[in-house]
């Protein structure tokens, strides 16, 4: 095995992004809907720098970079103003329409309308959700953490969102809150234009070194 040493400081921002987005895979896609400034039209965009936090609070994270013009993306702009969002977890059946919503539109022009998607009201927040999404997380903003580039200029933000309601297709979750992974059938985001799907699923129990000899 030959290990190639690459200094992050010697790379451009694009090359650092290329390495990290290609190495940290697969990533679940968050399909985020937010209210635009008019309080009626809905912005919809996919983000794959998406995870959860091992806290007693039900927190998820959204890592979102700025536009190429150095401005906050519409999703960030809306969340910082409204303090809420719907985070949908789409499945493979929705990949084509999800990809369409990644296109850049002028602010206030709704990807929901462009993609002919249906909305449904939420339980606890104002923002509507995508009717056909099998998993919908109603979230409120817990904390926003700006991220600066090497010139000390903000070029990204980490949004910590607290889940206030889960809406999950009952074929995916049982009464003990266990998730059926195959029924969830999440989109696996890779790098560039690449996506994947779940392959073989296997189990491996965590060892207990107190009871097992080394």
User: Options 2.30.110.10, 3.40.50.80, 1.20.1730.10, 3.40.718.10; which CATH number does 28-190 get?
Assistant: 2.30.110.10
Rg for the chain (alpha carbons), in Å?
19
C-beta separation of 160 from 153 below 8 A? no
Written as tens digits, the pLDDT of the chain (214 aa) is: 999 999 998 999 889 999 999 999 999 999 999 999 999 999 999 999 999 999 999 999 999 998 878 889 999 999 999 999 999 999 999 999 999 999 989 898 899 999 999 999 999 999 999 999 999 999 999 999 999 988 888 989 999 999 999 999 999 999 999 999 999 999 999 999 999 988 888 888 888 877 655 5
Which residues does 101 contact at the CB level (< 8 Å), separation at least 6? 31, 44, 45, 46, 111, 114, 115
What's the pLDDT tens digit per position in 148-165?
A: 988 888 989 999 999 999
The predicted-structure confidence for 61-80, as pLDDT tens digits, reads as follows 999 998 878 889 999 999 99
* Cα dihedral across residues 91, 85, 46, 110: positive or negative: positive
Distance between CA 27 and CA 48 in Å, rounded? 6
Whole-prediction pTM: 0.90
Q: Of 42, 21, 20, 24, which is closest to residue 33 (Cα–Cα)?
A: 42
Whole-angstrom distance, CA of residue 66 vs CA of residue 80: 14
Domain boundaries along the sequence of the chain: 28-190
């Amino acid at each position: 095995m030959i290990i190639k040493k690459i200094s992050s400081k010697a790379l451009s921002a694009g090359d650092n992004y290329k390495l990290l987005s290609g190495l940290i895979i697969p990533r679940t896609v968050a399909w985020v809907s937010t209210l635009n400034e008019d309080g009626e039209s809905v912005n919809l965009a996919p983000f794959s720098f998406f995870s959860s936090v091992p806290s007693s609070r039900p927190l998820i994270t959204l890592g979102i970079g700025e536009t190429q013009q150095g401005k906050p993306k519409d999703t960030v702009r809306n969340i910082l103003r409204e303090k809420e969002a719907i985070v949908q977890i789409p499945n493979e059946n929705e990949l084509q329409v999800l990809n369409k919503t990644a296109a850049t539109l002028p602010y206030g022009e709704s990807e929901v309308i462009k993609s002919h998607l249906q909305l449904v009201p939420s339980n606890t927040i104002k923002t509507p959700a995508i009717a056909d999404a099998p998993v919908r997380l109603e979230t409120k903003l817990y904390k926003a953490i700006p991220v600066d580039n090497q010139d000390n200029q903000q070029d990204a933000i980490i949004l910590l969102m607290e889940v206030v309601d889960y809406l999950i297709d009952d074929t995916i979750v049982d009464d003990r809150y266990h998730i059926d992974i195959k029924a969830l059938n999440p989109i696996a985001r890779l790098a560039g234009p690449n996506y994947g799907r779940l392959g073989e699923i296997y189990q491996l129990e965590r060892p207990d070194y107190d009871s097992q000899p080394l």
